[in-house]
Amino acid sequence: MPDVAGEKGLQLNEQTLSMRLERVAAQVPAGARLADIGSDHAYLPVALLRRGAIAAAVAGEVALTPFSAAQRTVRDNGLEQQVSVRLANGLAAIEPADGISAISICGMGGETIRDILDSGKAHLNGQERLILQPNGGEQPVRLWLMENGYRILCEEILRENRFDYEIIVAERAGPVTYSAEQLYFGPLQMQARSPAFLAKWQSILRRKQQTLANFARARHAVPEAKVQQVARQARWITELLA
């Protein structure tokens, strides 16, 4: 993650969030009880508590070093009563008594976020707002949301340190259907066609076209299914940008 220092070398911490985490923070409802899964230094929940924006938080971490870092941030800010830091895998950090109303899972691959949601379903009460910020692999996240009755309420793309980040906000709403293209591009992004969205897909199209050219030149045959998949994606993107 290019997140050690922000633009212009700004030191990022619980007072100065990256632009990416600021955009995530903006999606957390006022007064929420937030579970931040994969919290690392717990900058997001601590920043929100320092601002009085949320009521309480759980910071979940699966790895010992970031878990200790999260404990330190919470202790340094005197927020031990409001933030529970827990060493746990995924949503296992959440206990029913926490009364969690929003869950953030940020800064990981989309497949990891999908796996965390899927293996932790038993810890969801269905009322939480999910605020997900995958680093790539958005399609599997959207597919999981659709298959589990979550409607996408907001989608955002932002560029920071030459990376494109997506934020997907969803709430449980009963059956919802998205087309294959909507799952790939994001249903709301496709409608809004923001400059950041179009720039992202222009750059992905160039990479897909390069991949197809490499496939054609490859000495060993690339499986036909793989070629077809990339060709289909390149066609979708070309149509999107037309």
Ligand X SMILES: C[S@@+](CC[C@H](N)C(=O)[O-])C[C@H]1O[C@@H](n2cnc3c(N)ncnc32)[C@H](O)[C@@H]1O
Beta carbon nearer to ligand X, 148 or 209: 148
Q: 107 or 110: whose CB is closer to ligand X?
A: 107
**Torsion region of 194: left, alpha or beta (phi above 0 gives left; psi -120 to 50 gives alpha):** beta
Confirm if 116 and 105 have CB atoms less than 8 A apart.
Answer: yes
Based on the shown chain and the rule CB under 6 A, indicate whether residue 107 belongs to the binding site for ligand X: yes
63 touches ligand X (CB under 6 A): yes
Q: Which two tokens stand for residue 160?
A: 């920071």
Nearer of residues 62 and 143 to ligand X, judged by Cβ? 62
d(CA 147, CA 242): 30
Site for ligand X in 165-194 (CB under 6 A): none
Structure-token pair, residue 34: 């937030």
Rule CB under 6 A: is residue 25 a binding residue for ligand X? no
| Among 14, 61, 138, 156, contact with ligand X (rule: CB under 6 A) | 61
Q: Does 213 bind ligand X (CB under 6 A)?
A: no
Q: CA-to-CA distance for 65 and 90, rounded, in angstroms?
A: 16
Whole-angstrom Cα distance, residue 145 to residue 112?
14
Contact between 31 and 54 (Cβ < 8 Å): yes
The length of the chain is 242
Applying CB under 6 A, which part among 34-42, 205-213, 214-222, 230-238 lies near ligand X? Answer: 34-42
Q: Does 5 bind ligand X (CB under 6 A)?
A: no
3 contributes a contact to ligand X by CB under 6 A: yes
| Window of 62-70, 140-148, 177-185, 186-194 that interacts with ligand X by CB under 6 A | 62-70
